Structure 1
Amino acid sequence: MERPAETTWRPPRACEDYLSEFRHCKSFRNRFHHFYAYGTALSCQQWKVDYQNCREWESHRLGEAKDALQKSERMRLAEQGNFTPVWKLRQEPPSDWHRPLDQEDQQN
């Protein structure tokens, strides 16, 4: 007999990972850094909600907790896609990659 997908699904992270992220987010050092770098206060509430949903899924297999975790992870991944990389990635090496570097130009 085949098991339903509801019981075989696992959260994308361990529940302890959500709790660890929440604790890191709430730390004084992290909050200070975020305020210094971005000028805004950091909200850590989503990590706490994700941890609670993960524990609900682990203990009661609630579908609402599963859906909330999936939605949160999708939003987190979409947020990461909003940032452009600092460096433009090359598709191939430069045409003169084999030539020696000019030592005089590098010392100045």
Structure 2
Amino acid sequence: MAAPSEQFWKPHYPCDYYKQEYTDCTSIGHRFHTYYVYGEKPECAQWKKDYEACSAWMKTKSEEAKQELIKVENRHLQQKYYVNPVWPRRVTPPKDWYLPLEEMSQKQQAS
């Protein structure tokens, strides 16, 4: 028997979300914008595959379709939360993380 979290697992997004993302990605406005900003055409095929995986799971509830959809959603979460070109992710906290903020500001002003 599957674990309760897997037994009652549902996608985070409705299948229409993936379909809308694919539609937006293939729109002329998005394609022009992406080419203008990045110098290349957007890759939209993955959104279509994601929609097909979601639709397959909603229709059949098969374990294979479910696992594919879990991979899809994990990939999207990784991209959403862990890819940030502006701020590097910390591995450890700062050395003086425990100091009150006013002591930290005084320490920085003194140096």
TM-score by length of 1: 0.68
User: What is the root-mean-square deviation in Å for CA atoms of aligned residues?
Assistant: 2.6
Q: Per chain length, whose mean CA-contact separation is higher, i.e. which structure has more relative contact order (CA < 8 Å, sep 6+)?
A: 1
What's 2:40 paired with? 40
What's 1:29 paired with? 29
What's 1:14 paired with? 14
Kindly provide the CA deviation profile for residues 23-70 of structure 1, in whole angstroms up to 9, marking residues without a partner as x.
Answer: 001000001101110111111111111111111111100111111111
> Residue type matched to 1:62 in 2?
S
Aligned counterparts, 1:72-83, within 5 A = 72-80=72-80, 81-83=82-84
State the alpha-carbon separation in 2 of the partners of residues 45 and 71 from structure 1: 16
The structural deviation recorded for 1:76 is 2.2
Q: Identity over aligned residues, as a percent?
A: 36
TM-score by length of 2: 0.67
Which stretches in structure 2 are left out of the alignment for 5+ residues?
Answer: 88-96, 106-111
Q: Which ranges of 4 or more aligned residues in structure 1 deviate by more than 6 Å?
A: none
Specify which structure has the higher proportion of helix. Answer: 2
Which stretches in structure 1 are left out of the alignment for 5+ residues?
Answer: 96-108
1:85 and 2:71 aligned: no
State the alpha-carbon separation in 2 of the partners of residues 49 and 55 from structure 1: 10
State the alpha-carbon separation in 2 of the partners of residues 82 and 68 from structure 1: 22
